[in-house]
Structure 1
Amino acid sequence: MRIPALAILTIATVLTSVSARAQTYDPAYPVCLHVYARGANYYECRYTSLPQCNATASGRGAQCVINPYFASAHSDYRRHRRAY
């Protein structure tokens, strides 16, 4: 009797589990809002400037961060080379 009950419990757990979304940065926007909420910790990457993001973060448990995966974030290495 224990084996069928355990099998039913396992199947019910697998079928009712919620799929988790991967936490990603949107490469289309340079600034992300990192939200700290009870039971949730996520990023909203939809801001074009830090002041715009800071206005949204005001009064919330949130912090603005620079998007490390922004499409234009890669600098040209030749610009930073020294001439010897």
Structure 2
Amino acid sequence: MRILALATLVIGAISAATPAQAQTYGGSNYPICLHVFGQISYYDCRYTSLAQCNQSASGRAAQCVTNPYAATAAFGDAPARKRARRAY
């Protein structure tokens, strides 16, 4: 009886699990991200220019970086995809 209950529990847990999605830097709407350092390090991607981001980073332990997932004309198209590995 225990085996049947355990099997039912395991099957229920496996069927309820959903695949996780990889985290990106705040989507592709903004080309500049503020990387804030501290006990909790995080990215804040809501800037349209480096000057705007630098003003927000002033006086903080932070730096401005380009959003690798941004797809704007000013920064080129979407990031280059990795080449497929060929099996020889």
TM-score bucket (shorter structure): 0.5 to 0.7
Query: What is the aligned partner in structure 2 of residue 33 from structure 1?
Result: 34
Residues 9-46 of structure 1: per-residue CA shift (max 9 Å, x gap): xxxxxxxxxxxxx7531210000000001x21110000
Question: Between Structure 1 and Structure 2, which shows a larger proportion of strand residues?
Answer: 1
Please report the TM-score for the alignment, with normalisation by the length of structure 2.
0.55
Structure (1/2) with the larger helix percentage:
1
Q: Secondary structure at the match of 1:44?
A: strand
What SS does structure 2 have at the residue aligned with 1:71? Answer: coil
| Structure 1, gaps ≥5 residues long | 1-21, 76-84
In structure 2, how many angstroms separate the alpha carbons of the residues matched to 1:44 and 1:23? 13
Which 4+ runs in 1 deviate beyond 2 A?
none
What is the CA RMSD across the aligned residues, in angstroms? 1.7
**2:46 paired residue number:** 46
Corresponding residue pairs, total? 53
C-alpha contact (below 8 Å) 2:35/2:41 kept by paired residues: yes
Percent identity (aligned): 62
